[in-house]
Copies of this chain bind each other. A is one copy, B any other.
Amino acid sequence: MSLLVVGSVAIDNVETPSERRDDLLGGSATHFSYSASFFTPVRLVGVVGDDFPKAHTDLLEGAGVDTEGLQRRAGGKTFTWTGRYLPNMNDRETLDVQLNVFGDFDPVVPESFKDARLVFLANGVPAVQAKVLAQAPHRKLVVADTMDLWITTHRADLDALMHNLDGLFLNDSEAKLLTGCENLVSAGEAVLDMGPRFVIVKKGEHGSMYFGRDAQGNPESYVLPAYPTREVIDPTGAGDSFAGGMMGYLSQCEHLTAKDLKTAMAYGTVVASFNVEGFGLERMTRLTREVIDERLDAYRRMLSI
């Protein structure tokens, strides 16, 4: 099934305890697209300035990402994020954000993308995310990511959006913020009551949790650990990469069963574990589906008791 992603394309400057790298291709829709491209062609809707290097567009196109929906704003500058990771490589601080052309991003889905069945709304203003829905009339599965800023400042729009979602991604502290529940199981179930059919709570280096309902409508949940790696070079984009691997795999499934969703989460986990092994997309550009499948097998064996 065809996969559409709408979200940020950015230039990242990343500082870690051992190194600083500037001008990396980043952005939530970028990490999502590249990760999903190992499973399926991807249609990308975003916006960049005329400073955006052609090499970046070529890299995405070369991976099977259709950039017809990537608006190029003349005279504008691309969204730029600069951040620093703390020694634990899990916590980070944002040093600078220049939204630039992403500040008034108005997503326009090209005609040729409108038959998309799977839609991922990468992190962004909820009202802007909502604008995509009417432009994807054949959507079968819509999944969105969100963040603390929108929970705090755009709650009504987010509440409205959640009723139109099949799935919602958010991290553990955001799930607690959104629901007021300190226990993650209770928080995940409370988010489920806000509209989405399923909720994925991301726990960074500690993995992720799934919340959904069984055939009888009772809540069910499970937790999957992250794939342990000692090569944590740059965690930027891990969450979007996780979503990309997950949605990429789902695009190959016909019925989107509970089993498909779990396998998709495992693929997302594994793809994200590669994403953190290099700055920006560096590790990803050396990755193959075969190597992903090898690590998925290792992950499966690791969890087989």
Q: Does residue A183 face the partner (Cβ distance < 8 Å to B)?
A: yes
CB distance from A259 to the nearest CB of B (A): 9
B residues less than 8 Å from A225 (CB atoms):
206-207, 223-225
The copy count of this chain in the complex is: 2
* Contact bitstring A203-235, B, C-beta under 8 A = 1, else 0: 101110100000000000111111011101000
B residues less than 8 Å from A189 (CB atoms):
230
Q: Does residue A147 face the partner (Cβ distance < 8 Å to B)?
A: no
**Interface residue stretch chosen among A39-47, A50-58, A93-101, A295-303:** A295-303
Interface centre among A87, A221, A222 (most CB of B within 10 A): A222
Give complex CA distance A229, B205 in Å: 20
Contact of A183 among B89, B186, B222 (CB under 8 A): B89
* Contact bitstring A283-305, B, C-beta under 8 A = 1, else 0: 00000000000000001101111
B residues less than 8 Å from A229 (CB atoms):
185
| Contact between chains at B221 and A228 (CB < 8 Å) | yes
Give complex CA distance A226, B299 in Å: 17
Q: Does residue A122 face the partner (Cβ distance < 8 Å to B)?
A: no
Q: Does residue A182 face the partner (Cβ distance < 8 Å to B)?
A: yes
CB distance from A257 to the nearest CB of B (A): 13
| Contact between chains at A299 and B305 (CB < 8 Å) | yes
CB distance from A214 to the nearest CB of B (A): 13
| Contact between chains at A230 and B266 (CB < 8 Å) | no
| Contact between chains at B263 and A305 (CB < 8 Å) | yes
Known contacts: A203-B206, A206-B203, A206-B206. The answer to whether A303 contacts B183 by CB under 8 A is no
**Chain B, Cβ-Cβ closest to A222:** B302
Contact of A184 among B221, B228, B304 (CB under 8 A): B228
B residues less than 8 Å from A221 (CB atoms):
228
17 extra interchain contacts, Cβ-Cβ under 8 A, other than A185-B228, A266-B305?
Answer: A184-B205, A184-B228, A185-B229, A186-B230, A203-B206, A206-B207, A206-B225, A207-B225, A209-B228, A223-B225, A223-B226, A224-B303, A225-B225, A300-B305, A303-B303, A303-B304, A304-B304
Q: List 11 A-B contacts (CB under 8 A).
A: A89-B182, A185-B229, A186-B230, A189-B230, A203-B206, A206-B206, A207-B225, A222-B228, A223-B225, A225-B225, A303-B304
